[in-house]
Amino acid sequence: MDLSVVVPVFNEADNLEPLLAEIAAALDSRLDYEVIYVDDGSTDATLARLVELRGRFPRLRILRHARSCGQSTALCTGIRAARAERIATLDGDGQNDPADIPRLLEEMQRRQAGAGAALVAGYRRSRKDTGWRRFSSRVANGVRGGLLKDRTPDTGCGLKVFSRELFLRLPYFDHMHRFLPALAQRAGAPVVSVEVNHRPRLAGVSKYGTWHRLWVGIVDLFGVMWLQRRALLPQVEEIAGGS
């Protein structure tokens, strides 16, 4: 299998079918792939709708958390269950465009040709969000980038491509998805940002409040800085034995 597309969702019943159709349109003629939806304890019709859609989208796999554990845990659940070595992640609200996945895959393959594992992150240069959300994101990215030196203009974009092996080497903690570029760099992997399309949300509401993300992000930011300072990347040489 060439690719596993992992999509965490919480109460996104109305956005499931359009996004699945777009994923199929983007990948059906290109790759052998699977789509893993992780229902993070939804309380609406998300699970029932996913089960219904599985008949129309045979590449769809459904995993469910008995209770909501957050986006990072849902991503981790999906990636651990993935059958492919290459992973693409998407937010479940439909604002990421699956048509961008092939370009990010090509960039990952190019970067990995001489450097091993790599992470390619989407960059929403032209965001279709409220003015307040765009402003708060710019501030957060500026502070984070200044402290972590991750050279990534948009770590919050849900569209990313990387290897399963790289992700499973990263330290797991709640909210880790906001720091994937810095954590990948800590593991010695190159990170590159590629400009991607961004669309307005057409159904449902955002599940993440600005102030909640701010205070949790501050705590996590100092935790990631602590991890960076204690990272060691040894250069290993195997010494051949005598005959």
pLDDT in tens, 209-232: 444 555 556 778 877 777 878 777
Note the pTM of the prediction, 2 decimals: 0.84
- Give the count of domains, the chain: 1
Alpha-carbon Rg for the chain, nearest whole angstrom, is 18
Q: How far apart are CA 12 and CA 44, in angstroms?
A: 8
Question: Could you tell me if residue 238 is inside a domain?
Answer: no
What is the chain's percent helix, strand, coil content, to nearest 5?
A: 45, 15, 40
Question: Could you tell me if residue 241 is inside a domain?
Answer: no
Using left for φ > 0, alpha for ψ between -120 and 50, and beta otherwise, residue 94 falls in: left
Question: Could you tell me if residue 240 is inside a domain?
Answer: no
118: domain CATH number is: 3.90.550.10
Q: How far apart are CA 192 and CA 69, in angstroms?
A: 29
27-36, 58-67, 80-89, 122-131: least confident range: 122-131
Residue 189 carries which side chain, given as an amino acid letter? A
Q: Identify the helix (H) or strand (E) that includes residue 78.
A: helix 71-81
Q: How far apart are CA 180 and CA 121, in angstroms?
A: 9
Please check the confidence at residue 129 and state whether its pLDDT lies above 70: no
Residue 222 burial (CB count, 10 A): 10
* Token code pair at residue 149: 């030196």
Per the structure, the complete domain to which residue 110 belongs is given by 3-229
Question: Could you tell me if residue 14 is inside a domain?
Answer: yes
